[in-house]
Amino acid sequence: MPPVMPESAPKVTRAGVTENVTQEAALARWEGYARGVREKLRSDEVRRFGAAVPDLLRLLETALNSVFDEQGHRWTELKLRVGAGMSAVELAMNSRLQARRALWHACMVLMSLKGAASGDDGRLLEQVADIAHTLSLVSIACDSESASEETVLQARAFLDALGDGEGLSWDALVRANRAAG
């Protein structure tokens, strides 16, 4: 039986919902620009990040493979979680989505590896999760009109530390991640 609305409740109409949503969106945009025009990543920064995505995914894949292989034939919770991360990276590498968006989706899975293990594997997975968080922020800064100023600054620090992406290594990726804060 459907819920009974009190007689005094206002009627919900399509026009009312549209008006409310439109007003809220306009207000959010206005508040976001209250201190002036928001800083955004430059198009060259966005292109540089997009060009680096395949190499970034390969580095993440290599890190995950090393943990996965150390688990041997045992199918533990850790091996399943790392395997899920590997699958997310593999899908991102072969996706029809724009590379930055595919990376963002993979990062959502990789961030779940935080706290998944202890010891050397745990430290590596913590790094993977932290880097995934930074990469997701950079992806947001590339694709979003509403990225916060802090996100844009973190993305720019990461990209500056990453350099032109030539000869990208795991150590360079870790340093760039640290530079982003």
Model confidence pLDDT, tens digit, residues 19-32 = 544 444 444 444 44
Structure tokens at 159: 């990209």
Q: Model's pTM, two decimal places?
A: 0.77
Alpha-carbon distance values, 143 to 36, 70, 103, 105, 136 (Å): 20, 37, 12, 13, 11
What type of residue is 52?
Answer: A
Please determine, for residue 72, whether its predicted confidence score (pLDDT) is greater than 60.
yes
- What mean pLDDT do residues 173-179 have? 96
% of the chain exceeding 90 in pLDDT:
62
- What mean pLDDT do residues 95-102 have? 92
CA-CA distance, 84 to 118, in Å (whole number)? 18
CA-CA distance, 163 to 143, in Å (whole number)? 20
Please tell me the total number of residues recorded for the chain in this structure.
181
Please determine, for residue 45, whether its predicted confidence score (pLDDT) is greater than 50.
yes
